[in-house]
Amino acid sequence: MGSVTNVDLARLALRRGWRWLKSALRALEDERWDDVVYSSQMAVEQASKAVLIAFGIEYPKEHDVSLVFKQLLGVEGIPRWFESMIPELVNTISELAELRGLAGYGYEEGLDADYFKDYAPEAYEMAKKHFEACAKLLSQIYNINVE
């Protein structure tokens, strides 16, 4: 078996992100609001890490990689359309990472799934937009696709 390249790893990470995004949609359909937020965050995290891996950028082993993702600004080979989205993508990473713990363990604070009812659809839309941008970038540059 040959060595695994960054492009191979990025493909695996993007596919994992795709599965998390599908989980978020299913949770939305099932009205499992906390699961929507948690799965949306994981989709964003995996898609973001796929991009960082593809470009050979080291990232910390944590959920919020927004500071490292910001380093993509000015990286050679990043198309203008993606670079213009980086501030929004960074905000999405940070915002969802901040809510991840509450979505996963809100019961420890006495919260139930309805706590996220109003936010869940927004979280999913943010994650979908984020994932699609990362997927488009990886498809254009590295011919990485989720299918």
Taking only the tens of pLDDT, the chain with its 147 residues reads 578 999 999 999 999 999 999 999 999 999 999 999 999 999 999 999 999 999 999 999 999 999 999 999 999 999 999 999 999 999 999 999 999 999 999 999 999 999 999 999 999 999 999 999 999 999 999 999 987
Q: pTM here?
A: 0.96
| Of residues 15, 137, 18, 123, the one with CA closest to residue 69 | 137
Give pLDDT, residue 1: 56
Q: What is the pLDDT of residues 107-120, one digit of tens each?
A: 999 999 999 999 99
Domains in the chain: boundaries: 6-141
| 6-141 has CATH 1.20.120.330 classification | yes
Q: How far is the CA of 7 from the CAs of 3, 13, 51, 100, 147, in angstroms?
A: 11, 10, 9, 27, 15
